[in-house]
Structure 1
Amino acid sequence: MDFLNPRIPLGDWAESFLDWFQDAFAWLLSFVSLVLGGLYNSLESALSAPVYLVMIVILAAIAWFAAGWKLALFTVLGFYLIRALDQWGNSMQTLALVIVAVLFALLISIPLGILAAKSQIVSTVVKPVLDFMQSMPALAYLVPIIVIFGIGPVPGAIATLIFALPPGVRLTELAIRQVDREVVEAGQAFGASPGHILGRIQVPLAMPTIMAGVNQVIMLALSMVVLAGMAGAQGLGGAVTGSISSLNVSLGIESGLAVVIIAVYLDRVTAAFGSRSNLTPAKTA
């Protein structure tokens, strides 16, 4: 290599590794695609099957239970507006994609955050990985995901999962570490097992911060809908991407407004549940 004109073929190495990975783990990639695709299709069918008025009532009931009548009224008006803008089908597809991505992101991030809080070695290893995931442009890892999984909702869900996962890990670790050490020591003094201390003391006391992490995961997942549309995912992301490629201003405004309404709804509902967990006294017995 010429040290005056350096050239490291990192991209070629990455492409070779990607080819090897596809061949060596074809069974795993097929399983992941089957699980994510099946879950997305089932959830999208469940959300789209009822008459839209029924789904609005269900979503409003969740909002009422979480935060009261004001959020329920916003839900009714907001989702009725989505239907009036003819974006109901796209919105349910986007909601299904976000739920799938958030579900798997939380299944990974919360246990990993707890493990990082318990082990300094795990925390030291995980932090640079999370920094890399947050600083890497989403389009950069969208390309290899499309190469591996093709076009459709599966690569969109995986890209969304990767993008949204870091705050869940960070805030879960922070929440567990911030639990009062004296409370933990009191549990140990009474002979509580480590599992009992974690499940009955640390997690309940850390729940408000963990819920803040859940809120951030949901918001980041929803912010990825446009890039998911570039990966061939359906829904509002596909509508926004289509409006950009065809310079369709009306479609871009309508689909963008639908994204905003869904974002506000999910943000208020998760924030309300987080506030409720903050007001609920933790059971340490």
Structure 2
Amino acid sequence: MMNVFGASIPQLPLANWVDSLVNWLTQFTGFFNVIINFVSGINGAFQWVFDLLPQWLFIVLVMAWTWFLSRKAPRYWLLVLELVGLALIWNLDYWQDMTRTLSLVLTSSVIALVIGIPLGILMAKSNVAQTIIQPILDFMQTMPAFVYLIPAVAFFGIGTVPGVISSLIFAMPPVVRMTNLGIRQVPSDLIEAADSYGSTSWQKLVKVQLPLARKTIMSGVNQTLMLALSMVVTASMIGAMGLGTDVYFAVGRNEAGSGFTAGLAVVIIAIILDRITQLVNKPEH
């Protein structure tokens, strides 16, 4: 490799280093088996609940939850969308694939929130932690999603678990960033008032900072859900079953109709999840 001055510059074998690192990590099968069992357990619990509920009862529960969140100013258009949209998914025989997609999205989102919110709190409390974590989040959010599939398959094989892990990595940065932002935006005079009353750091966090940062944090939760859902088609390439599989197969077979209907089901689920999380963020009761 030559630079502008004609001198020879040795090329770094970065790809070989990454391959060596991945190969070295694959020997820790026990550790990865623990993660596989943990993720499979959460995903299986969600799927068990969805399989237990009849389709009509699932639709009624979603509409009832929406009504409860907006009962002071009912969103009738959203209730109609939920009824018509979910009934359409049922009619098109995508119900099982829809519940599998929801299980994958909820599993990756729950794990992302459990990890991401404490990381955001740590970043808000420590400038050193923010300096270290910020570039990692930039890397996670800007790296093409397809790249995550390679180590995910190497570590976890084919199936739902690598799909959850890749979705988790891709979807976690927003909730970390928004938690950090929300806590840092809490007015300093309120923090000083809490200190003057002798509040501990934990009391300030739970009773002052987190409640005041709730709307910002919920915006991060909303973005995390949407990003996790956007990964369903990509995750289908490594064996994660769901609506993404239907879209992926339709593309491979050049079946525009099947691809459109499966994609429409994804859109319906995305709109419902987005609007419900917005209602949780802005309660009207």
Band of TM-score, shorter chain: over 0.9
Question: What pairs with 1:170-181 in structure 2 (closer than 5 Å)?
Answer: 170-181=177-188
In 1, Cα distance between equivalents of 2:196 and 2:269: 47
TM-score by structure 2 length?
0.94
Does residue 30 of structure 2 align to residue 27 of structure 1? Answer: yes
Question: What pairs with 1:259-274 in structure 2 (closer than 5 Å)?
Answer: 259-274=266-281
Find the counterpart in structure 2 of residue 41 from structure 1: 44
In 2, Cα distance between equivalents of 1:267 and 1:69: 14
Q: Displacement, 1:61?
A: 1.2
Task: Summarize deviations over 1:99-129 as a string: whole Å, max 9, x none.
Answer: 0000000011100001100000000001100
Does residue 230 of structure 2 align to residue 223 of structure 1? Answer: yes
Find the counterpart in structure 2 of residue 139 from structure 1: 146
Secondary structure of the residue aligned to 2:172 is helix
In 1, Cα distance between equivalents of 2:206 and 2:126: 17
Find the counterpart in structure 1 of residue 189 from structure 2: 182
Q: Displacement, 1:257?
A: 0.3
Does residue 198 of structure 2 align to residue 191 of structure 1? Answer: yes
Percent pairwise identity: 42
Does residue 207 of structure 2 align to residue 207 of structure 1? Answer: no
In 2, Cα distance between equivalents of 1:219 and 1:115: 24
Question: What pairs with 1:1-285 in structure 2 (closer than 5 Å)?
Answer: 4=8, 6-23=10-27, 25-67=28-70, 68-70=74-76, 71-276=78-283
Opposite residue 11 of structure 1, the aligned amino acid is A
In 1, Cα distance between equivalents of 2:161 and 2:209: 35
Aligned 8 A contact 2:160 2:239 in 1? yes
Gaps of 5+ in 1: 281-285
Gaps of 5+ in 2: none
In 2, Cα distance between equivalents of 1:88 and 1:57: 15
Secondary structure of the residue aligned to 1:45 is helix
Task: Summarize deviations over 1:169-221 as a string: whole Å, max 9, x none.
Answer: 10000000000110110010011111101000100010010000100100111
Runs of 4+ in 1 over 3 A off after TM superposition: 1-6
Aligned 8 A contact 2:246 2:259 in 1? yes
CA RMSD of aligned residues (A): 1.5
In 2, Cα distance between equivalents of 1:112 and 1:187: 23
Aligned 8 A contact 1:87 1:254 in 2? no
In 1, Cα distance between equivalents of 2:30 and 2:110: 22
